[in-house]
Amino acid sequence: MSILASMMGVMSEAGAQDVTPDTIDWASISGADVVATTDETVTGIVGTIDLYYETINSGSSPTVYYRVDSGSWTFINAGSTNTFTVSNNQTVGWQVVASFGAVDSTITVKNASDSGASIDTFNADVSYSL
């Protein structure tokens, strides 16, 4: 192998991004009307990753919001075409709103930057009382 080819191999390995975060665990949530998870820290990545969520609903479909670094809650639809970006050491929280009836959902957070790999799953049991 030539010296140039050898150097190029080292450079391409050094430039690769780690897009698989360390374990993240959002606890299941329950309550009335509007309930939020704790903010959990994304660690173990280099650069940024894009997150999204999918739901399995037994009750009404939830209205879901996310926030990064305790910022403002931002509405997001489910599905891989609806992503947001986070960097290493940023926090992410989830808020679930029961708008029309009781929500009984399993929410799976996925990593679009890692071929849709699941990051964590939590349950949201939110009653509607408004």
Q: Residues 19-73: pLDDT tens digits?
A: 999 999 999 999 999 999 999 999 999 999 999 999 999 989 999 999 999 999 9
Q: Which helix (H) or strand (E) holds 104?
A: strand 103-111
Q: Residue range 2-13: average pLDDT? A: 45
Instruction: At 4, list the tokens.
Output: 């140039």
End-to-end CA distance of the chain: 70
- The whole-number pLDDT of residue 77 equals 97
- The whole-number pLDDT of residue 8 equals 45
Residue 15 — pLDDT band, cuts 50, 70, 90? Answer: low
Domains of the chain: 18-127 (2.60.40)
Spatial contact of 127 and 114, defined as CB atoms under 8 Å apart: no
- The whole-number pLDDT of residue 113 equals 98
Which residues pair with residue 126 across a beta bridge?
A: 31, 103
d(CA 117, CA 112): 7
Q: Which residue type occupies 61?
A: S
Q: Residues 88-111: pLDDT tens digits?
A: 999 999 999 998 899 999 999 999
Ramachandran sector of residue 77 (left: φ over 0; alpha: ψ -120 to 50; beta: rest) = beta
- The whole-number pLDDT of residue 126 equals 97
